[in-house]
Amino acid sequence: MSVRKVPGARAIDPDLPIGLELQRVLRDELRLVIDACSSHSSWQLRQRGVAVRRARKSLKRAKAVLELVRGGVAPGEQTDLLSAVKELARRLGPLRDRDVVKELLDGIEQEVAGRRRREAIRLAKVMLVADRPEVLVRDHRAEEQIMTAAGRDAAEVLDRMEGVDFTVVDRALVLDRFEELHRRARKRFHGDFESRDVEWLHATRKRVILLQHGTRPLISIKPRILGPWVADLKRVADLLGDDHDFAVLETVLAAQDGGSDGLDALGVIAKQIVDRRSSLRRKAKRRGRKVLDRPSSAMRKRLGDWWARAGSA
């Protein structure tokens, strides 16, 4: 679920070479990953969850920058760096999933009306802990080892990235990549949407996130317009992310078999999940169409015009 803002790299300076500026953004994001992975010991439970989220956010932003420079960096080097960043994010994923399941169950328990429903949700949580402790019970020593290893590998990725030539990346290439990321995200919000399966919606979220984080370093070109636009993209991504989180919880609960009382408890939560997912998909479609209403070619032209004026200024 969406929570407070996490630190990120400073946006580009429009007057400086864009290739070197994007390399600097990538460097800053990888340093944030390293810092997050080494910032808390295993006994600092709450801070560890925040650190995992910080690291994953920075990895998503690093991935978007690498997509933004595709074609301007040697293909083998770009692919290797992108694969390494994706692998780091994959390894940290299960640590975040545990927090998500607990947050969702706690949120449903607080929001539902009626004592019987709340008791049913508490029973379902007890059943989950008994049957699948790995879902809700965290092994903080094991997590510390995962984070330490991820921080070490992120430092190696940073060293490799410093040796990559970004000077070929120019404004035209970045505008072309922006247009492509915009087009890939925009096409998802036309036609059938609400009835799509979980994987399609999750892939749609990834496209929105790539556009969101790919535009984020460029906000300084036109802050008054691009800032709110990126924030709107984040809201769409958050809606799709919440839908996916509920789908994960739905899958976890579907594997439970706790007798008649347990099935009643699971049924209460299942109904809440269905209602929430339906509402989230409707909102995501409506907001996605609104924020991605302009054709991709028109958005590219606007960004190029703003960039030219920002640079000359």
The pTM score is: 0.84
Rounded Cα–Cα distance for residues 166 and 66 (Å)? 11
In angstroms, rounded to a whole number, what is the distance separating the alpha carbons of residues 74 and 265? 55
* Residue 293 region by backbone torsions, left for phi larger than 0, else alpha for psi between -120 and 50, else beta: alpha
- pLDDT one digit per residue (tens) for the chain, 313 residues: 334 467 899 999 999 999 999 999 999 999 999 998 887 655 455 567 788 889 999 999 999 999 999 999 999 999 999 999 999 999 988 777 666 666 777 777 676 666 766 776 676 666 665 555 555 556 677 778 888 999 999 999 999 999 999 999 999 999 999 999 999 999 999 877 777 888 999 999 999 999 999 999 999 999 999 999 999 999 999 999 988 888 877 777 776 655 445 556 667 777 788 888 889 999 999 999 999 999 999 999 999 999 999 865 5
Domains and CATH numbers, the chain: 18-312 (1.40.20.10)
CA dihedral 302, 305, 307, 310 (to 10 degrees): -120
As a whole number of angstroms, the distance between CA 170 and CA 108 comes to 48
